[in-house]
A and B are shown apart, each in its own frame.
Chain A
Amino acid sequence: AQKVTQAQTEISVVEKEDVTLDCVYETRDTTYYLFWYKQPPSGELVFLIRRNSFDEQNEISGRYSWNFQKSTSSFNFTITASQVVDSAVYFCALSERGSQGNLIFGKGTKLSVKP
């Protein structure tokens, strides 16, 4: 069965600190995709990144970076030099090949960045 676990329910940091959001997934499929979404206080969900199971290269986009490790079934998200605007709920999600839309979401991690 597929499952996504975000063990950190809430994290609070002070601006400019680095913070890592953990995501552990379970799947029996060898082809799958992992996602991160951001949900700011306004409520909409914003797509951040998609990785497929064959691409374990880490990715960096500005202050954001993602560490995908198949050996530990983890897809962690790091924000460097956090800012108040990073305050949001972050969701990790998993989709298996052929799932046609059944994106399995973790329960989310609420990040609060204080000035």
Chain B
Amino acid sequence: NAGVTQTPKFQVLKTGQSMTLQCAQDMNHNSMYWYRQDPGMGLRLIYYSASEGTTDKGEVPNGYNVSRLNKREFSLRLESAAPSQTSVYFCASSRQGTPTGELFFGEGSRLTVL
């Protein structure tokens, strides 16, 4: 029962470096999401993909790009990492777009930007 799988789980970057967070779900869900979690801030939506072939900005999209590669995979790219992007990133999926379907989350990816 893999559910939502994120890689890598931990990453340290230097300011200005780029990286891609990978996310895959095996539940045949239509919608996928990227959130970031910062201390005392709860979770904030970065980007989402309501269905294969579509992506939309969430609350905090600046500094990020996404790709919905296929129905299973949704990647998040940091083109030029900044210390403000130090956070825990969560990928999630749902059977249909919220609000009717609950989100299934991955285990999170902890990113540190020095």
Residues of A within 8 A of B (CB): 4, 9, 32-33, 35, 42-47, 50, 52, 91, 95-97, 99-103, 105-108
Contact = CB atoms under 8 A, between A and B. Distances in A.
Interface in B32-84: 33, 40-45, 48, 50, 56, 58-59
A99 B45 CA distance: 12
A87 B98 CA distance: 27
B42 A99 contact: no
A43 B88 contact: yes
Interface of B: 31, 33, 40-45, 48, 50, 56, 58-59, 88, 90, 92, 94, 97-100, 102-108
B54 to A, nearest CB: 9
A6 to B, nearest CB: 8
Given A100-B50, A101-B48, A101-B94, A47 B102 contact: yes
A102 B103 contact: no
Contacts, number: 70
Contacts of A52: 99
Contact of B42 (A43, A95, A97, A107): A107
B102 A100 contact: no
A32 B42 contact: no
Contact of A97 (B40, B90, B99, B108): B99
Nearest to B58: A102
B14 to A, nearest CB: 25
B99 A47 contact: no
Contact of A45 (B50, B98, B105): B105
A95 B107 contact: no
B99 A32 contact: yes
B107 A102 contact: no
Contacts of A46: 105
Contacts of B92: 45
Given A33-B100, A101-B94, A91 B43 contact: yes
Given A43-B107, A47-B102, A50-B102, A102 B45 contact: yes
A14 B36 CA distance: 32
A103 B104 CA distance: 13
Contact of A95 (B41, B43, B98, B104): B98
